[in-house]
Amino acid sequence: MTKKTKKTTKGLSYRDAGVDIDTKGQFTTDIYSKMKTTFSPRVIENPDGFGGLFALNSRLKKYRQPVLVSSTDGVGTKLKIAFMMNKHDTIGIDLVAMCVNDIIVLGAEPLFLLDYLASSKIVPKVLHEVIDGIAEGCRQSGCALIGGETPEMPGFYHDSEYDIAGFVVGVVEKDKIINGKTIKPGDMVIGLSSSGIHSNGFSLVRKVFFDKAKMKTTQSLSKYGLNTTLGAELIKPTKIYVKSILKVLNKHKTKKIVKGMAHITGGGLLENIPRILPEGCAVQLERNRWDVPKIFDIIQNVGGVNDQEMLRVFNMGIGMVLMVSKSDAETLLDDLRHAKEPGMVIGEVTRGDRIVHIV
Protein backbone atom coordinates (compact mmCIF):
# COMPACT_ATOMS: atom_id res chain seq x y z
CA MET A 1 0.00 0.00 0.00
CA THR A 2 1.51 3.29 -1.08
CA LYS A 3 1.54 6.29 1.21
CA LYS A 4 -0.23 9.36 -0.15
CA THR A 5 1.77 12.56 -0.14
CA LYS A 6 0.08 15.86 0.70
CA LYS A 7 -0.09 18.18 -2.28
CA THR A 8 1.21 21.66 -1.53
CA THR A 9 0.30 24.80 -3.47
CA LYS A 10 2.10 28.09 -3.56
CA GLY A 11 0.16 30.80 -1.75
CA LEU A 12 -0.61 34.21 -3.15
CA SER A 13 2.02 36.89 -2.84
CA TYR A 14 1.95 40.69 -2.82
CA ARG A 15 3.46 40.54 -6.32
CA ASP A 16 0.47 38.46 -7.46
CA ALA A 17 -1.73 41.33 -6.23
CA GLY A 18 0.24 43.78 -8.36
CA VAL A 19 2.74 45.20 -5.85
CA ASP A 20 6.45 44.52 -6.38
CA ILE A 21 8.22 45.20 -3.09
CA ASP A 22 11.66 44.51 -4.55
CA THR A 23 11.21 47.02 -7.38
CA LYS A 24 9.92 49.66 -4.97
CA GLY A 25 12.83 49.08 -2.61
CA GLN A 26 15.39 49.47 -5.39
CA PHE A 27 13.62 52.59 -6.72
CA THR A 28 13.64 54.18 -3.27
CA THR A 29 17.35 53.47 -2.94
CA ASP A 30 18.14 54.81 -6.39
CA ILE A 31 16.35 58.16 -5.98
CA TYR A 32 18.27 59.09 -2.83
CA SER A 33 21.19 60.31 -4.93
CA LYS A 34 18.82 62.68 -6.73
CA MET A 35 17.48 63.98 -3.42
CA LYS A 36 21.02 64.68 -2.22
CA THR A 37 21.51 67.19 -5.04
CA THR A 38 19.00 69.43 -3.22
CA PHE A 39 20.54 69.06 0.25
CA SER A 40 22.18 71.84 2.20
CA PRO A 41 24.10 71.57 5.50
CA ARG A 42 20.72 71.95 7.23
CA VAL A 43 19.61 68.49 6.13
CA ILE A 44 20.49 65.59 8.42
CA GLU A 45 20.86 62.55 6.21
CA ASN A 46 18.58 59.66 7.17
CA PRO A 47 18.27 57.53 4.01
CA ASP A 48 16.46 54.56 5.57
CA GLY A 49 14.46 56.48 8.15
CA PHE A 50 10.72 56.89 8.54
CA GLY A 51 10.95 60.67 8.22
CA GLY A 52 13.13 63.45 6.85
CA LEU A 53 15.33 65.47 9.21
CA PHE A 54 16.03 69.19 8.95
CA ALA A 55 18.07 71.15 11.51
CA LEU A 56 16.28 74.38 12.41
CA ASN A 57 18.90 75.99 14.64
CA SER A 58 21.57 76.31 11.99
CA ARG A 59 19.18 78.26 9.78
CA LEU A 60 16.80 79.98 12.12
CA LYS A 61 19.37 81.65 14.36
CA LYS A 62 19.13 84.73 12.13
CA TYR A 63 15.42 84.98 12.99
CA ARG A 64 14.22 86.59 16.21
CA GLN A 65 10.67 85.22 15.97
CA PRO A 66 10.66 82.58 13.24
CA VAL A 67 7.27 81.49 11.93
CA LEU A 68 6.99 78.25 9.97
CA VAL A 69 4.83 78.49 6.84
CA SER A 70 3.45 75.42 5.07
CA SER A 71 1.49 74.59 1.94
CA THR A 72 0.47 71.54 -0.03
CA ASP A 73 -0.58 71.22 -3.67
CA GLY A 74 -0.56 69.11 -6.82
CA VAL A 75 -0.61 69.80 -10.55
CA GLY A 76 -4.17 68.76 -11.38
CA THR A 77 -5.00 67.32 -14.78
CA LYS A 78 -1.85 68.70 -16.37
CA LEU A 79 -0.68 65.19 -15.56
CA LYS A 80 -2.84 64.00 -18.46
CA ILE A 81 -0.66 65.99 -20.86
CA ALA A 82 2.45 64.26 -19.49
CA PHE A 83 0.77 60.88 -19.98
CA MET A 84 -0.29 61.71 -23.53
CA MET A 85 3.21 62.86 -24.46
CA ASN A 86 5.04 60.24 -22.38
CA LYS A 87 7.13 63.14 -21.10
CA HIS A 88 7.61 63.24 -17.35
CA ASP A 89 10.76 65.28 -16.67
CA THR A 90 9.10 68.66 -16.09
CA ILE A 91 5.91 67.82 -14.22
CA GLY A 92 7.93 67.70 -10.99
CA ILE A 93 9.00 71.30 -11.54
CA ASP A 94 5.30 72.18 -11.72
CA LEU A 95 4.71 70.42 -8.41
CA VAL A 96 7.45 72.31 -6.59
CA ALA A 97 6.39 75.60 -8.17
CA MET A 98 2.79 75.24 -7.04
CA CYS A 99 3.95 74.70 -3.46
CA VAL A 100 6.81 77.19 -3.09
CA ASN A 101 5.09 80.00 -5.00
CA ASP A 102 2.25 79.74 -2.50
CA ILE A 103 4.48 80.40 0.50
CA ILE A 104 6.73 83.05 -1.04
CA VAL A 105 3.68 85.33 -1.19
CA LEU A 106 3.86 85.42 2.63
CA GLY A 107 7.53 86.34 2.44
CA ALA A 108 8.61 82.83 3.47
CA GLU A 109 11.84 81.19 2.40
CA PRO A 110 11.21 77.53 1.48
CA LEU A 111 13.16 75.11 3.68
CA PHE A 112 12.18 71.60 2.68
CA LEU A 113 9.66 69.66 0.62
CA LEU A 114 8.12 66.19 0.78
CA ASP A 115 6.51 64.52 -2.21
CA TYR A 116 3.81 61.87 -2.64
CA LEU A 117 4.10 59.91 -5.88
CA ALA A 118 1.45 57.20 -6.26
CA SER A 119 1.05 54.88 -9.25
CA SER A 120 -0.67 51.70 -10.34
CA LYS A 121 2.73 50.13 -10.85
CA ILE A 122 6.22 51.45 -10.28
CA VAL A 123 7.86 51.96 -13.65
CA PRO A 124 11.35 53.11 -12.64
CA LYS A 125 12.18 54.97 -15.87
CA VAL A 126 9.00 57.09 -15.70
CA LEU A 127 9.15 57.82 -11.98
CA HIS A 128 12.86 58.65 -12.13
CA GLU A 129 11.98 61.35 -14.67
CA VAL A 130 9.33 62.71 -12.30
CA ILE A 131 11.82 62.80 -9.43
CA ASP A 132 14.36 64.52 -11.69
CA GLY A 133 11.82 67.31 -12.20
CA ILE A 134 11.05 67.59 -8.50
CA ALA A 135 14.76 67.81 -7.68
CA GLU A 136 15.22 70.48 -10.35
CA GLY A 137 12.32 72.50 -8.95
CA CYS A 138 13.84 72.26 -5.48
CA ARG A 139 17.20 73.47 -6.75
CA GLN A 140 15.52 76.39 -8.53
CA SER A 141 13.81 77.43 -5.29
CA GLY A 142 16.61 76.64 -2.84
CA CYS A 143 14.46 74.01 -1.18
CA ALA A 144 15.63 70.59 0.08
CA LEU A 145 13.78 67.43 -0.98
CA ILE A 146 14.13 65.42 2.23
CA GLY A 147 11.60 62.62 1.82
CA GLY A 148 8.39 61.33 0.35
CA GLU A 149 6.21 58.33 -0.34
CA THR A 150 5.87 56.20 -3.49
CA PRO A 151 2.89 53.86 -2.98
CA GLU A 152 2.09 51.25 -5.60
CA MET A 153 -1.71 51.01 -5.90
CA PRO A 154 -2.83 48.48 -8.53
CA GLY A 155 -6.47 48.76 -9.50
CA PHE A 156 -6.71 52.31 -8.19
CA TYR A 157 -4.93 54.20 -10.98
CA HIS A 158 -5.04 53.42 -14.68
CA ASP A 159 -2.03 51.54 -16.00
CA SER A 160 0.96 53.80 -16.71
CA GLU A 161 -0.61 56.68 -14.77
CA TYR A 162 0.40 58.26 -11.48
CA ASP A 163 -0.53 61.14 -9.20
CA ILE A 164 1.73 63.55 -7.37
CA ALA A 165 1.37 65.93 -4.46
CA GLY A 166 3.85 68.05 -2.56
CA PHE A 167 4.13 69.51 0.93
CA VAL A 168 6.51 72.39 1.62
CA VAL A 169 7.66 74.09 4.83
CA GLY A 170 9.25 77.53 4.89
CA VAL A 171 10.13 80.22 7.41
CA VAL A 172 9.56 83.95 7.79
CA GLU A 173 10.26 86.49 10.52
CA LYS A 174 7.01 87.18 12.37
CA ASP A 175 7.05 90.94 11.79
CA LYS A 176 8.01 90.41 8.13
CA ILE A 177 4.96 88.32 7.22
CA ILE A 178 3.38 89.75 4.07
CA ASN A 179 -0.39 89.55 4.42
CA GLY A 180 -1.84 92.54 2.56
CA LYS A 181 -3.17 94.28 5.69
CA THR A 182 -1.44 97.58 4.86
CA ILE A 183 -2.66 97.76 1.26
CA LYS A 184 -4.62 100.95 0.60
CA PRO A 185 -6.16 102.86 -2.33
CA GLY A 186 -3.49 104.46 -4.48
CA ASP A 187 -1.04 101.56 -4.18
CA MET A 188 0.40 100.13 -7.38
CA VAL A 189 -0.18 96.59 -8.69
CA ILE A 190 2.93 95.05 -10.25
CA GLY A 191 2.70 91.89 -12.34
CA LEU A 192 5.35 89.28 -13.03
CA SER A 193 4.97 87.39 -16.28
CA SER A 194 4.02 83.72 -16.40
CA SER A 195 5.74 81.13 -18.58
CA GLY A 196 2.40 80.15 -20.08
CA ILE A 197 -0.58 78.26 -18.70
CA HIS A 198 1.37 77.03 -15.63
CA SER A 199 -0.65 74.30 -13.83
CA ASN A 200 -4.26 75.48 -13.73
CA GLY A 201 -7.20 75.23 -16.08
CA PHE A 202 -6.15 72.00 -17.79
CA SER A 203 -9.57 70.40 -17.58
CA LEU A 204 -10.81 73.21 -19.84
CA VAL A 205 -7.64 73.08 -21.95
CA ARG A 206 -8.15 69.38 -22.63
CA LYS A 207 -11.84 69.92 -23.37
CA VAL A 208 -11.00 72.61 -25.94
CA PHE A 209 -8.13 70.94 -27.77
CA PHE A 210 -8.74 67.22 -27.48
CA ASP A 211 -12.51 66.85 -27.12
CA LYS A 212 -13.78 69.75 -29.21
CA ALA A 213 -11.01 70.41 -31.74
CA LYS A 214 -9.78 66.76 -31.89
CA MET A 215 -6.18 67.96 -31.97
CA LYS A 216 -3.09 65.88 -31.15
CA THR A 217 -0.19 66.86 -28.91
CA THR A 218 2.09 66.58 -31.97
CA GLN A 219 0.08 69.11 -33.98
CA SER A 220 1.92 72.27 -35.00
CA LEU A 221 0.55 75.60 -33.79
CA SER A 222 2.23 77.54 -36.61
CA LYS A 223 -1.09 78.47 -38.21
CA TYR A 224 -2.02 80.14 -34.92
CA GLY A 225 1.23 82.09 -34.78
CA LEU A 226 3.25 79.84 -32.48
CA ASN A 227 6.34 78.04 -33.74
CA THR A 228 5.87 74.93 -31.59
CA THR A 229 3.62 71.91 -31.14
CA LEU A 230 0.53 71.86 -28.96
CA GLY A 231 2.08 69.39 -26.54
CA ALA A 232 5.32 71.34 -26.17
CA GLU A 233 3.36 74.49 -25.34
CA LEU A 234 1.05 72.81 -22.86
CA ILE A 235 3.80 70.95 -20.98
CA LYS A 236 5.87 74.08 -20.27
CA PRO A 237 6.70 74.06 -16.55
CA THR A 238 5.35 76.61 -14.09
CA LYS A 239 7.72 79.49 -13.37
CA ILE A 240 9.27 79.54 -9.90
CA TYR A 241 9.50 83.08 -8.48
CA VAL A 242 11.14 82.31 -5.15
CA LYS A 243 14.76 83.36 -5.60
CA SER A 244 14.02 86.62 -7.39
CA ILE A 245 11.42 87.69 -4.83
CA LEU A 246 13.61 86.70 -1.89
CA LYS A 247 16.42 88.75 -3.37
CA VAL A 248 14.14 91.80 -3.44
CA LEU A 249 12.78 91.20 0.08
CA ASN A 250 16.24 90.65 1.55
CA LYS A 251 17.45 93.94 0.05
CA HIS A 252 14.86 95.80 2.12
CA LYS A 253 15.26 94.18 5.53
CA THR A 254 14.43 97.36 7.46
CA LYS A 255 11.33 98.17 5.42
CA LYS A 256 8.50 95.96 4.24
CA ILE A 257 8.46 97.38 0.71
CA VAL A 258 6.06 94.72 -0.64
CA LYS A 259 2.64 95.04 1.01
CA GLY A 260 0.98 91.99 -0.50
CA MET A 261 1.48 89.25 -3.07
CA ALA A 262 -0.83 86.86 -4.88
CA HIS A 263 0.14 83.70 -6.75
CA ILE A 264 -2.17 83.61 -9.78
CA THR A 265 -3.38 80.02 -9.86
CA GLY A 266 -6.87 78.54 -10.26
CA GLY A 267 -9.35 81.40 -10.27
CA GLY A 268 -7.07 83.63 -12.29
CA LEU A 269 -6.58 87.33 -11.64
CA LEU A 270 -10.22 87.84 -10.69
CA GLU A 271 -10.28 85.47 -7.73
CA ASN A 272 -6.70 85.36 -6.44
CA ILE A 273 -6.02 89.09 -6.04
CA PRO A 274 -9.03 89.69 -3.73
CA ARG A 275 -7.64 87.11 -1.30
CA ILE A 276 -5.01 89.64 -0.13
CA LEU A 277 -7.13 92.80 -0.23
CA PRO A 278 -8.29 94.36 3.05
CA GLU A 279 -11.84 95.62 3.44
CA GLY A 280 -12.54 98.81 1.52
CA CYS A 281 -10.06 98.01 -1.24
CA ALA A 282 -10.51 96.88 -4.82
CA VAL A 283 -8.15 96.64 -7.79
CA GLN A 284 -8.40 98.05 -11.29
CA LEU A 285 -6.19 96.39 -13.88
CA GLU A 286 -5.46 97.88 -17.28
CA ARG A 287 -5.57 95.12 -19.85
CA ASN A 288 -3.25 96.92 -22.30
CA ARG A 289 -0.37 97.07 -19.81
CA TRP A 290 0.84 93.51 -20.37
CA ASP A 291 1.15 91.04 -23.23
CA VAL A 292 -1.07 87.98 -23.07
CA PRO A 293 0.79 84.87 -24.33
CA LYS A 294 -0.53 83.60 -27.64
CA ILE A 295 -1.65 80.27 -26.18
CA PHE A 296 -4.49 82.00 -24.33
CA ASP A 297 -5.78 83.57 -27.53
CA ILE A 298 -5.68 80.13 -29.14
CA ILE A 299 -7.62 78.54 -26.28
CA GLN A 300 -10.24 81.27 -26.46
CA ASN A 301 -10.64 81.18 -30.23
CA VAL A 302 -10.60 77.40 -30.67
CA GLY A 303 -12.87 76.80 -27.70
CA GLY A 304 -15.15 79.80 -28.05
CA VAL A 305 -14.47 80.71 -24.43
CA ASN A 306 -15.73 84.14 -23.33
CA ASP A 307 -13.50 86.82 -21.80
CA GLN A 308 -14.88 86.48 -18.28
CA GLU A 309 -14.32 82.73 -18.22
CA MET A 310 -10.76 83.12 -19.47
CA LEU A 311 -10.02 85.60 -16.69
CA ARG A 312 -11.58 83.31 -14.05
CA VAL A 313 -9.67 80.20 -15.13
CA PHE A 314 -6.23 81.23 -16.41
CA ASN A 315 -3.38 83.51 -15.33
CA MET A 316 -3.52 85.27 -18.74
CA GLY A 317 0.21 85.94 -18.68
CA ILE A 318 0.58 87.16 -15.09
CA GLY A 319 1.86 84.48 -12.71
CA MET A 320 2.49 86.65 -9.64
CA VAL A 321 1.15 90.00 -8.44
CA LEU A 322 2.85 92.35 -5.96
CA MET A 323 1.31 95.37 -4.21
CA VAL A 324 3.48 98.36 -3.36
CA SER A 325 2.98 101.99 -2.43
CA LYS A 326 3.19 104.44 -5.34
CA SER A 327 6.32 106.03 -3.90
CA ASP A 328 8.11 102.65 -3.81
CA ALA A 329 6.96 101.36 -7.20
CA GLU A 330 10.00 102.45 -9.21
CA THR A 331 12.36 101.09 -6.57
CA LEU A 332 10.63 97.72 -6.64
CA LEU A 333 10.64 97.61 -10.43
CA ASP A 334 14.36 98.37 -10.46
CA ASP A 335 15.01 95.69 -7.83
CA LEU A 336 13.07 93.15 -9.88
CA ARG A 337 15.10 93.99 -12.98
CA HIS A 338 18.31 93.39 -11.05
CA ALA A 339 16.87 90.10 -9.79
CA LYS A 340 16.29 89.11 -13.45
CA GLU A 341 12.52 89.00 -12.98
CA PRO A 342 11.30 92.23 -14.60
CA GLY A 343 7.87 93.37 -13.55
CA MET A 344 5.37 95.87 -14.91
CA VAL A 345 2.73 98.12 -13.38
CA ILE A 346 -0.58 96.56 -14.45
CA GLY A 347 -3.03 98.45 -12.30
CA GLU A 348 -3.87 100.29 -9.11
CA VAL A 349 -5.63 99.73 -5.81
CA THR A 350 -8.91 101.64 -5.63
CA ARG A 351 -11.76 102.00 -3.17
CA GLY A 352 -14.20 99.13 -3.31
CA ASP A 353 -15.30 95.82 -1.87
CA ARG A 354 -12.48 93.33 -2.54
CA ILE A 355 -13.09 92.92 -6.24
CA VAL A 356 -11.00 93.15 -9.41
CA HIS A 357 -12.07 95.29 -12.37
CA ILE A 358 -10.27 94.94 -15.71
CA VAL A 359 -10.52 97.82 -18.17
Rounded to an integer, the average pLDDT of 213-242 is 97
- CATH code of residue 292: 3.90.650.10
Pairing of β 356-358 and β 281-285:
parallel
Domain containing 158 equals 21-176
3-state secondary structure of 189: strand
Does 51 reside within a domain? Answer: yes
Does 302 reside within a domain? Answer: yes
If asked whether residues 226 and 158 sit together in one domain, one would say no
Q: What local confidence, expressed as pLDDT, does residue 74 receive? A: 97
Q: How far is 114 from 344, CA to CA, in rounded Å?
A: 34
Residue 347: name the closest of 331, 328, 324 by CA. 324
If asked whether residues 249 and 276 sit together in one domain, one would say yes
Number of domains in the chain: 2
Last residue of a domain, one of 139, 155, 176: 176
Given a cut of 90, whether residue 239 has pLDDT beyond it is yes
What is the residue type of 188? Answer: M
Q: How far is 93 from 26, CA to CA, in rounded Å?
A: 24
If asked whether residues 164 and 274 sit together in one domain, one would say no
Given a cut of 80, whether residue 25 has pLDDT beyond it is no
Q: What local confidence, expressed as pLDDT, does residue 49 receive? A: 79
If asked whether residues 101 and 129 sit together in one domain, one would say yes
If asked whether residues 104 and 203 sit together in one domain, one would say no
Given a cut of 80, whether residue 310 has pLDDT beyond it is yes
Given a cut of 60, whether residue 277 has pLDDT beyond it is yes
If asked whether residues 145 and 71 sit together in one domain, one would say yes
If asked whether residues 136 and 115 sit together in one domain, one would say yes
Does 155 reside within a domain? Answer: yes
If asked whether residues 88 and 221 sit together in one domain, one would say no
Rounded to an integer, the average pLDDT of 211-239 is 97
- CATH code of residue 56: 3.30.1330.10
Does 197 reside within a domain? Answer: yes
Q: Tell me 157's DSSP state.
A: B
pTM, two decimals, is: 0.91
Q: What local confidence, expressed as pLDDT, does residue 3 receive? A: 55
Q: What local confidence, expressed as pLDDT, does residue 294 receive? A: 97
Does 2 reside within a domain? Answer: no
If asked whether residues 215 and 95 sit together in one domain, one would say no
Last residue of a domain, one of 109, 143, 176: 176
47-52 own/partner pairs: CB under 8 Å, 24+ apart: 51/147, 52/112, 52/114, 52/146, 52/147
Does 11 reside within a domain? Answer: no
CA distances for 50 relative to 125, 138, 146, 148, 274, angstroms: 25, 21, 11, 10, 40
Task: Categorize the per-residue pLDDT at 80 as very low, low, confident or very high, splitting at 50, 70 and 90.
Answer: very high
3-state secondary structure of 207: helix
Does 8 reside within a domain? Answer: no
57-66 own/partner pairs: CB under 8 Å, 24+ apart: 59/111, 59/171, 60/171, 63/171, 63/173, 64/173, 64/174, 65/173, 65/174, 65/175, 66/171, 66/172, 66/173, 66/174
Last residue of a domain, one of 176, 208, 229: 176
If asked whether residues 206 and 354 sit together in one domain, one would say yes
Q: What local confidence, expressed as pLDDT, does residue 59 receive? A: 61
Task: Categorize the per-residue pLDDT at 7 as very low, low, confident or very high, splitting at 50, 70 and 90.
Answer: low
Does 15 reside within a domain? Answer: no
- Among the residue ranges 178-192, 243-257, 333-347, the one predicted with the least confidence is 243-257
Helix (H) / strand (E) containing 72: strand 66-74
Secondary structure percentages of the chain, helix, strand, coil, to 5: 35, 25, 40
The model's pLDDT over 113-140, given as tens digits with 9 standing for 90+, comes to 999 999 998 899 999 999 999 999 999 9
If asked whether residues 318 and 230 sit together in one domain, one would say yes
215-220 own/partner pairs: CB under 8 Å, 24+ apart: 217/81, 217/84, 217/85
